[in-house]
Amino acid sequence: MINLQKFSAKICYTASGMLILDGKVLLIKHKKLGFWLNPGGHIEEDELPNKTAEREFWEETGIKVRALNIIESIKSNISEYVPSPILTNLHWINKDSYDKRIASANPDERIRTKVWPLGCEQHFNYMYLVAPVEGVEFKQNVEETDGIAWFSEKDLETLETIENIREEIKFGFKRSKSL
Protein backbone atom coordinates (compact mmCIF):
# COMPACT_ATOMS: atom_id res chain seq x y z
CA MET A 1 0.00 0.00 0.00
CA ILE A 2 1.39 3.39 -0.98
CA ASN A 3 1.85 6.15 1.62
CA LEU A 4 2.26 9.53 -0.10
CA GLN A 5 1.61 11.40 3.15
CA LYS A 6 5.14 10.61 4.34
CA PHE A 7 6.63 13.06 1.82
CA SER A 8 6.92 16.75 2.61
CA ALA A 9 5.47 17.60 -0.78
CA LYS A 10 3.83 20.84 -1.92
CA ILE A 11 0.14 19.81 -1.97
CA CYS A 12 -2.47 21.58 -4.05
CA TYR A 13 -6.17 20.90 -3.51
CA THR A 14 -8.31 19.96 -6.50
CA ALA A 15 -11.83 18.73 -7.22
CA SER A 16 -13.35 16.85 -10.13
CA GLY A 17 -16.76 15.74 -11.34
CA MET A 18 -17.87 12.40 -12.75
CA LEU A 19 -20.99 12.56 -14.93
CA ILE A 20 -22.52 9.15 -15.66
CA LEU A 21 -25.67 9.01 -17.78
CA ASP A 22 -27.29 6.14 -19.66
CA GLY A 23 -24.36 3.81 -18.92
CA LYS A 24 -21.68 6.22 -20.12
CA VAL A 25 -19.23 8.62 -18.46
CA LEU A 26 -18.19 11.95 -19.97
CA LEU A 27 -14.41 12.39 -19.98
CA ILE A 28 -11.92 14.93 -21.28
CA LYS A 29 -8.51 14.22 -22.78
CA HIS A 30 -6.15 16.44 -20.78
CA LYS A 31 -3.87 18.44 -23.06
CA LYS A 32 -0.79 18.43 -20.79
CA LEU A 33 -1.16 14.90 -19.41
CA GLY A 34 -2.21 13.27 -22.69
CA PHE A 35 -4.81 10.87 -21.26
CA TRP A 36 -8.54 10.72 -20.52
CA LEU A 37 -9.89 11.73 -17.10
CA ASN A 38 -12.80 13.41 -15.34
CA PRO A 39 -13.06 17.21 -15.69
CA GLY A 40 -11.61 19.04 -12.70
CA GLY A 41 -9.07 21.51 -11.43
CA HIS A 42 -7.64 23.57 -8.60
CA ILE A 43 -9.78 24.80 -5.72
CA GLU A 44 -9.72 28.58 -5.58
CA GLU A 45 -9.37 30.56 -2.38
CA ASP A 46 -12.60 30.54 -0.35
CA GLU A 47 -14.20 28.00 -2.74
CA LEU A 48 -15.78 24.78 -1.48
CA PRO A 49 -14.60 21.59 -3.22
CA ASN A 50 -18.08 20.70 -4.53
CA LYS A 51 -18.35 24.17 -6.11
CA THR A 52 -14.91 23.71 -7.71
CA ALA A 53 -16.05 20.42 -9.26
CA GLU A 54 -19.15 22.14 -10.67
CA ARG A 55 -17.20 25.16 -11.98
CA GLU A 56 -14.39 23.13 -13.52
CA PHE A 57 -16.85 20.74 -15.15
CA TRP A 58 -18.63 23.68 -16.79
CA GLU A 59 -15.35 25.36 -17.84
CA GLU A 60 -14.04 22.18 -19.48
CA THR A 61 -17.27 20.80 -21.01
CA GLY A 62 -19.80 23.63 -21.24
CA ILE A 63 -22.25 21.52 -19.19
CA LYS A 64 -23.68 22.94 -15.98
CA VAL A 65 -23.78 20.30 -13.26
CA ARG A 66 -24.45 20.00 -9.54
CA ALA A 67 -22.54 17.77 -7.14
CA LEU A 68 -24.66 14.93 -5.79
CA ASN A 69 -24.76 14.09 -2.12
CA ILE A 70 -23.98 10.38 -2.00
CA ILE A 71 -24.85 9.94 1.67
CA GLU A 72 -27.90 10.81 3.70
CA SER A 73 -27.52 14.15 5.43
CA ILE A 74 -28.74 15.79 8.61
CA LYS A 75 -31.30 18.58 8.42
CA SER A 76 -30.19 21.60 10.41
CA ASN A 77 -30.98 25.26 10.93
CA ILE A 78 -27.45 25.86 12.25
CA SER A 79 -25.15 24.14 9.75
CA GLU A 80 -25.24 23.57 6.03
CA TYR A 81 -24.31 20.05 4.97
CA VAL A 82 -22.62 20.05 1.60
CA PRO A 83 -22.31 17.15 -0.85
CA SER A 84 -19.82 14.45 0.07
CA PRO A 85 -17.25 13.31 -2.47
CA ILE A 86 -17.44 9.79 -3.85
CA LEU A 87 -13.64 9.47 -3.49
CA THR A 88 -10.68 11.48 -2.26
CA ASN A 89 -7.11 10.74 -3.20
CA LEU A 90 -3.57 12.03 -2.94
CA HIS A 91 -1.37 11.55 -6.00
CA TRP A 92 1.87 12.79 -7.49
CA ILE A 93 1.56 15.50 -10.09
CA ASN A 94 5.24 16.47 -10.24
CA LYS A 95 7.57 14.03 -8.45
CA ASP A 96 10.58 15.39 -10.39
CA SER A 97 10.05 18.84 -8.86
CA TYR A 98 9.88 17.30 -5.38
CA ASP A 99 13.05 15.25 -5.92
CA LYS A 100 14.90 18.32 -7.24
CA ARG A 101 13.82 20.46 -4.29
CA ILE A 102 14.76 17.83 -1.70
CA ALA A 103 18.16 17.25 -3.34
CA SER A 104 18.89 20.98 -3.23
CA ALA A 105 21.99 22.07 -1.30
CA ASN A 106 20.04 24.91 0.36
CA PRO A 107 18.23 23.49 3.44
CA ASP A 108 15.65 26.32 3.37
CA GLU A 109 14.37 25.07 0.01
CA ARG A 110 13.59 21.69 1.59
CA ILE A 111 10.89 23.23 3.73
CA ARG A 112 7.47 23.02 2.16
CA THR A 113 6.13 26.49 1.48
CA LYS A 114 2.89 27.79 0.01
CA VAL A 115 4.82 29.39 -2.84
CA TRP A 116 7.07 26.86 -4.54
CA PRO A 117 8.07 28.29 -7.92
CA LEU A 118 7.68 24.99 -9.74
CA GLY A 119 4.08 24.55 -8.57
CA CYS A 120 2.22 21.56 -7.17
CA GLU A 121 4.05 18.36 -6.37
CA GLN A 122 1.01 16.39 -5.18
CA HIS A 123 -2.72 16.88 -5.68
CA PHE A 124 -5.31 16.08 -3.03
CA ASN A 125 -8.45 15.54 -5.11
CA TYR A 126 -12.10 15.51 -4.06
CA MET A 127 -14.10 13.54 -6.66
CA TYR A 128 -17.87 14.07 -6.89
CA LEU A 129 -20.60 12.33 -8.79
CA VAL A 130 -22.43 15.11 -10.64
CA ALA A 131 -25.78 15.49 -12.40
CA PRO A 132 -26.65 17.87 -15.23
CA VAL A 133 -28.61 21.00 -14.31
CA GLU A 134 -29.84 21.52 -17.87
CA GLY A 135 -28.90 19.60 -21.02
CA VAL A 136 -25.79 17.55 -21.75
CA GLU A 137 -24.71 19.10 -25.03
CA PHE A 138 -21.00 19.62 -24.55
CA LYS A 139 -18.41 21.86 -26.14
CA GLN A 140 -14.71 21.15 -25.93
CA ASN A 141 -12.41 23.64 -24.21
CA VAL A 142 -9.60 23.48 -26.78
CA GLU A 143 -7.18 25.46 -24.57
CA GLU A 144 -7.17 22.71 -21.91
CA THR A 145 -8.29 19.54 -23.68
CA ASP A 146 -7.50 17.45 -26.74
CA GLY A 147 -10.88 15.75 -26.71
CA ILE A 148 -14.21 15.21 -24.99
CA ALA A 149 -16.35 12.09 -25.35
CA TRP A 150 -18.72 9.63 -23.71
CA PHE A 151 -17.38 6.18 -22.74
CA SER A 152 -19.11 2.98 -21.61
CA GLU A 153 -17.78 0.67 -18.88
CA LYS A 154 -16.59 -1.69 -21.62
CA ASP A 155 -14.66 1.17 -23.27
CA LEU A 156 -12.60 1.54 -20.08
CA GLU A 157 -10.66 -1.63 -20.94
CA THR A 158 -8.90 0.09 -23.85
CA LEU A 159 -9.21 3.73 -22.77
CA GLU A 160 -6.01 5.77 -23.05
CA THR A 161 -5.65 6.62 -19.35
CA ILE A 162 -3.78 5.51 -16.24
CA GLU A 163 -4.85 2.56 -14.12
CA ASN A 164 -6.01 4.44 -11.02
CA ILE A 165 -8.30 6.67 -13.13
CA ARG A 166 -9.73 3.56 -14.80
CA GLU A 167 -10.42 2.09 -11.33
CA GLU A 168 -11.99 5.36 -10.08
CA ILE A 169 -14.36 5.42 -13.05
CA LYS A 170 -15.29 1.75 -12.53
CA PHE A 171 -16.01 2.60 -8.88
CA GLY A 172 -18.14 5.55 -10.03
CA PHE A 173 -20.17 3.30 -12.34
CA LYS A 174 -20.78 0.85 -9.49
CA ARG A 175 -21.65 3.59 -6.98
CA SER A 176 -23.95 5.47 -9.39
CA LYS A 177 -26.07 2.33 -9.87
CA SER A 178 -26.87 2.29 -6.15
CA LEU A 179 -28.11 5.89 -6.01
Q: Which domains does the chain have, with CATH numbers?
A: 10-177 (3.90.79.10)
Element (H, E) at 163: helix 163-177
pLDDT averaged over the chain?
A: 91
Q: pLDDT digits over 100-109, tens only?
A: 877 875 655 5
pLDDT average, residue stretch 131-155: 95
β-pair type (11-21, 122-132): parallel
What pLDDT, on a 0 to 100 scale, did the predictor assign at position 111? 52
Q: Which residues contact 166 (CB under 8 A, 6 or more apart)?
A: 156, 159
Where residue 20 falls among pLDDT bands split at 50, 70, 90?
Answer: very high
pTM: 0.88
Q: pLDDT digits over 82-140, tens only?
A: 999 999 999 999 898 888 877 875 655 545 544 445 689 999 999 999 999 999 999 99
DSSP letter at 19? Answer: E
pLDDT average, residue stretch 6-13: 92
What pLDDT, on a 0 to 100 scale, did the predictor assign at position 178? 83
Question: What percentage of residues in the chain have a pLDDT greater than 70?
Answer: 92
At 133, the amino acid letter reads: V
CA 47 to mean position of chain CA atoms:
15
What pLDDT, on a 0 to 100 scale, did the predictor assign at position 153? 96
What pLDDT, on a 0 to 100 scale, did the predictor assign at position 11? 93
pLDDT average, residue stretch 31-42: 95
